[in-house]
Amino acid sequence: MTTNLLDDLRARNEMTLAEAASNVCQGAAAWPIWSMIGWNDVRQKYRRSVLGPFWITLSMAIFISGLGIVYSRIFNAEIDVFLPYLGAGLIAWTFIASSMLESCNALQEAEAVIKQIRIPISAFVFRVIWRNFIVFMHTIVLIVPIWLVFGIRPDWTTSMIVPGLLLLCANLLWIGHVLSIACARFRDITVIVANILQLAIFITPIMFPVSALGPLEWVAQANPLYHMVALIRAPLIGDTVSPLTWMVAIGMFPIGMVMVLLLLRHTSHRIVYWL
């Protein structure tokens, strides 16, 4: 009798898939809230500094210049080819890695709000992706001096940055939902994700060309992070995004969203107790 009662209560509290999808849509519709909070997050981080968020731009410029000079010698590559490749790759990687890592704490940092105000859980994931997108827009301006110094002329392939960026953000959203919910339940996952990302930057072709892998090039092709970076890097340096990269990035999205809907269906009523 007790077991049946608990099952009935559990079933009553769980969302349907339609309600889970509605939660994500409502989170997107709450853009005046999460966009304002995300922008304020960036402002507060650089409050009272002289350059403000452009410190990100300056530090990234120094980082790209230093690594470009050193690694071009290590890989015996021409700097006018290697440095744009490295710069565009690091700009894309920073956006991806920061979004993923900060998504781990998306719900925990909004604990007080979640416990007091009824706001869709998805809104807090949108907040994280939005504030990292703001930072990304501060770093992507570095591509202009790279174009000028190394004589890269934007062409029609450069315009593919728009659909590539939209697709990247879409994938980061479902990844952010999965990580935020998982980390709300198991706090150790945050440390695991941080360690994986530290390793991933060295095994993903960002600071070295894919050709350096030789016969192991298939390892890069099997790495989803490589394709996520390529969506941004290729258009910025005048290359064409490969069909495989489009296929992987597009294929990831529906699979990821199914995972999000299933997670929301079974965990939405428990999240507030996990925080």
pTM of the entire predicted model: 0.89
Question: pLDDT tens digits, residue range 26-64?
Answer: 888 888 888 898 888 888 877 766 566 677 788 888 888
Q: Mean pLDDT of all residues in the chain?
A: 86
Question: Where exactly are the structural domains of the chain?
Answer: 18-274
Confidence at residue 53, expressed as pLDDT on a 0 to 100 scale: 67
**What pLDDT shows up at residue 49?**
65
pLDDT average, residue stretch 198-224: 84
pLDDT of res. 171: 96
- Higher model confidence: residue 172 or residue 31? 172
Query: For residues 72, 78, 80 and 81, what is the CA-based torsion angle, rounded to 10 degrees?
Result: -90
Q: Look at residue 51 in the predicted model and tell me its pLDDT.
A: 65
Q: What's the whole-number mean pLDDT along residues 61-84? A: 84
Q: How confident is the model at residue 6 (pLDDT cuts 50, 70, 90)?
A: very low
Higher pLDDT, 74 or 201: 201
Going by pLDDT thresholds of 50, 70 and 90, the confidence category of residue 67 is confident
What is the percent of the chain where pLDDT is above 70?
93
pLDDT higher for 114 or 9? 114
Assess whether pLDDT exceeds 80 at residue 244.
Answer: yes
Higher pLDDT, 246 or 70: 246
